[in-house]
């Protein structure tokens, strides 16, 4: 065997090794990911979701302009959603869910080691013209992100936000004492408000939306939620109490 042949063989072997590692998880996702409850791992932003629990499908687009559409998504804590992410571009893109800190660190690693391959339930690598899926259950309220970590894409602004809203506060019983539509205010005699740690009393509330006052009458018995909104305590939901329903 000549030296030239040896070199050629070595080069061919290198090429074979290099090929599968040259892309960030450019594997074929023709077969959908199989859900295995025993292998689900908790993260600070939730865990892989059981496809049987999906109640909402969120379609997203990814483009070579380095954008996700939509880039702002709100889910409820506990909700299991399926992201169906379509690659409208000519480049490989991916959607990776995470905390802002995780994604930033991961993007920096991708710049340093562009040959890194990953396949985790919180990500979908999508070839041009194809679609990928992530089924995820958000178990904690908070501000999370999704990003494309193909080298340079995150840095070009290819990221979005997932706001996970906490549970709506429990409702409190009350009685309408006074309605001030002009000021958008409501006087309620109410029981203890757990989420505000407020004892029962009669007090004036703002309302988060003037429409909440539309169908109220003084003397009504109601159930309502109150929360701190921009530094003021406001009624955010109100309805006739069951016993007083008309």
Residues that bind Cu ion (CB under 5 A): 93, 148, 150, 153, 158
User: In the bound complex, which residue of the shown chain has the CB atom lying closest to Cu ion?
Assistant: 148
Q: How far is the CB of 98 from Cu ion (least distance, A)?
A: 15
Residue labelled with tokens 């958000």: 138
First to last CA, the chain: 96
CA torsion through residues 160, 166, 167, 168, sign:
negative
Distance, in Å, from the CA atom of 200 to the CA atom of 26, rounded to the nearest integer, reads 60
Nearest approach in angstroms of CB 85 to Cu ion is 11
The DSSP H or E segment spanning 47 is: strand 47-48
Helices (H), the chain: 3-21, 100-112
CA distances to 80, 107, 143, 146, 217 from 104, in Å: 25, 5, 14, 11, 53
């Amino acid at each position: 065997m000549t030296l030239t042949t040896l070199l050629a063989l070595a080069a061919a072997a290198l090429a074979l090794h290099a090929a599968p590692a040259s892309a960030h998880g450019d594997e074929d996702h023709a077969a959908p990911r199989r859900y295995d409850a025993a292998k689900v791992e908790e993260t600070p932003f939730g865990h892989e979701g059981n496809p049987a629990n999906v109640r909402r499908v969120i379609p997203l687009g990814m483009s070579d302009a380095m954008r996700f559409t939509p880039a702002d998504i709100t889910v409820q804590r506990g909700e299991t959603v399926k992201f169906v992410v379509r690659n409208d571009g000519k480049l490989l893109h991916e959607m990776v869910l995470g905390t802002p800190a995780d994604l930033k660190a991961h993007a920096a690693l991708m710049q340093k080691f562009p040959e890194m391959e990953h396949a985790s339930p919180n990500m979908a690598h999508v070839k041009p013209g194809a679609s990928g899926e992530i089924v995820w259950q958000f178990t904690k309220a908070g501000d999370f992100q999704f990003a494309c970590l193909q080298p340079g894409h995150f840095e070009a602004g290819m990221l979005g936000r997932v706001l996970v809203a906490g549970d709506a506060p429990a409702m409190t019983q009350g009685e309408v004492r006074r309605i001030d539509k002009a000021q958008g205010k409501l006087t309620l005699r109410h029981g203890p408000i757990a989420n505000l740690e407020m004892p029962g009393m009669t007090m004036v509330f703002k309302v988060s939306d003037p429409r909440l006052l539309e169908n109220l009458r003084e003397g009504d018995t109601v159930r309502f939620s109150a929360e701190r909104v921009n530094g003021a305590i406001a009624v955010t939901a109100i309805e006739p109490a069951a016993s007083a329903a008309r």
